[in-house]
Chains A and B, each alone.
Chain A
Amino acid sequence: MRWDTADDISNEVLDAVQEGLRHAHLSCGVELQRRNVALLSNLRDRLKRLREDSIAQSNEPYANAAFRAQMVTQATMDFLEMWVLLKEDKPREAWDKLIDAQVRFVIAQKIQFDPDASNLLKHLLAVERVVFPPQTFSSCGYTYNEAFCTICGCKYGECEHVAGHIYMGMICQKEIRKANLLEVSILEDLPKDKRCRVEEYADTGKVFCTLTRREVPQQEPVDPSQRFVRATAIRFD
């Protein structure tokens, strides 16, 4: 479909997202979920091109709107893919897709708050708690001497951009080129990135997956006093 006005874009995104969410349930046919993923993927690519064109034309309202639409489309796609991956018995990948969906809806909310998206985020949180077993999270602390702004490339803190804010269809981040790892810890609380979690735990010398509860065969014997075997502490996107 050709886009002539901002309303055209908005309507197409809304229709595609609503149709995607209509199929984002466990009982829905996997072939229908895959078809919606493909349709949303195509729409996301078109929105990405629109955002890039808007950036090239320095049209910030359009670039931000396209970025938001891209995030909402991609998040819906992630959520659908979560169900597909669960049906393919790929729970780790499914978990990551659910967290990606949450993160992208939150980014969309930062650009423009929408009560419907807020309810959807609560739904995704409920899915996390009902569909997956409770997870233990991990994190790492590190130090750095300087960071750089991903918007303008200046030393972070010297320019006017703030990490987490949206500028011309892009999210500002601190680019840390050199860091010193201080510690890796298991968190009592929530992590910044919920993809960082304990993936395997040990019980009486046997190792199990935290998502499937299946035993993970080991080549070496495991110390019976050990509780956590494998965790992800940081993810670079």
Chain B
Amino acid sequence: MPMHVTDYIDVEQRCAALSIPKPEGFCILPRRFEDAQTVSDLRHESSALDLKVLFRRANLPITVYQPDGATIPYLQENDNTWTGPILLLGYAVLTSDPNALAVSLSIIANYLTDFFRGNPEPVRAKLSFVVEVLETETKEKETKTGTTKTTKVIRKRFDFDGPPDELPGFPDFIKDNI
């Protein structure tokens, strides 16, 4: 199974630790965002720029995260794997456009079909989505109303690493695990 899901860190806290502003909207996070010691450890995948154009052309603008005052460079690796970036889909984005996830994956799947067209070797693609969801907790509290409900934003990271022809199953995998 080329897909798996894990809990993801608090993006806001992580940005505070790196002294950089929180990314807004639909955006591409750099590699090593989770464990970088400083901003200079961060690298964007070279494919981030390709996706930026493709998403803009599909009227789904995406930002390649660049904090003010620093430039996160792009990393080009030259093996046969297409390494996609980490795409952060904020709660607000998904609320205003519930199809954003499905549309994004469709754009990427179409692009990869073109990208690998004609290649006679086995091919591989890697890609991650971080999705923010609202989690509601009901707590028994001794109040006049009895119980209280609290909501908090949690994040899940969905990774795909496998043959690109299995990518169409990724949206359902994400939907089933949110």
Mask of A147-182 contacts with B, CB within 8 angstroms, 1/0: 100000000110111111100000000101001101
**A147 & B115 in contact (Cβ 8 Å cutoff):** no
**Chain B residues whose C-beta falls within 8 Å of the C-beta of A124 in the assembled complex:** 120
Q: Is A47 an interface residue (CB 8 A)?
A: no
Docked pose: A59 CA to B149 CA in angstroms:
64
Which B residues, 116 to 142, have Cβ-Cβ distances below 8 Å to chain A? 117-121
Closest-by-CB residue of A relative to B48 is A157
**Chain A residues whose C-beta falls within 8 Å of the C-beta of B52 in the assembled complex:** 157
**A143 & B121 in contact (Cβ 8 Å cutoff):** no
Question: How many residues of chain B are within 8 Å of chain A by beta carbon?
Answer: 28
**Chain B residues whose C-beta falls within 8 Å of the C-beta of A26 in the assembled complex:** none
Q: Is the interface of A mostly helix, strand, loop or mixed?
A: mixed
Mask of A181-217 contacts with B, CB within 8 angstroms, 1/0: 0100001011111001000000000000000000000
Q: Is A121 an interface residue (CB 8 A)?
A: yes
Q: Is A139 an interface residue (CB 8 A)?
A: yes
Docked pose: A105 CA to B121 CA in angstroms:
13
**B80 & A143 in contact (Cβ 8 Å cutoff):** no
Q: Is the interface of B mostly helix, strand, loop or mixed?
A: mixed
**B117 & A109 in contact (Cβ 8 Å cutoff):** yes
Shortest Cβ distance from residue B29 to the other chain A in the assembled complex, whole angstroms: 16
**Chain B residues whose C-beta falls within 8 Å of the C-beta of A145 in the assembled complex:** 71, 73-74
Q: Say which residue of B46, B74, B76, B80 sits within 8 Å of A190 (CB atoms).
A: B80
**Chain B residues whose C-beta falls within 8 Å of the C-beta of A179 in the assembled complex:** 76
Q: Say which residue of A110, A139, A176, A180 sits within 8 Å of B78 (CB atoms).
A: A139
Docked pose: A161 CA to B49 CA in angstroms:
11
Mask of A102-127 contacts with B, CB within 8 angstroms, 1/0: 10011111100100011001101100
Q: Is B79 an interface residue (CB 8 A)?
A: yes
**Chain B residues whose C-beta falls within 8 Å of the C-beta of A39 in the assembled complex:** none
Q: Is B157 an interface residue (CB 8 A)?
A: no
Docked pose: A143 CA to B40 CA in angstroms:
12
Q: Say which residue of A156, A165, A192 sits within 8 Å of B114 (CB atoms).
A: A165
Interface centre among A105, A124, A165, A179, by most chain B C-beta atoms within 10 angstroms, is A165
**Chain A residues whose C-beta falls within 8 Å of the C-beta of B49 in the assembled complex:** 147, 156-157, 174
Known: A144-B76, A163-B50. A189 touches B120 (CB 8 A): no
14 contacts between A and B (CB under 8 A): A105-B118, A106-B117, A108-B118, A109-B117, A118-B120, A125-B120, A141-B76, A143-B76, A145-B71, A157-B53, A162-B50, A162-B111, A189-B80, A190-B80
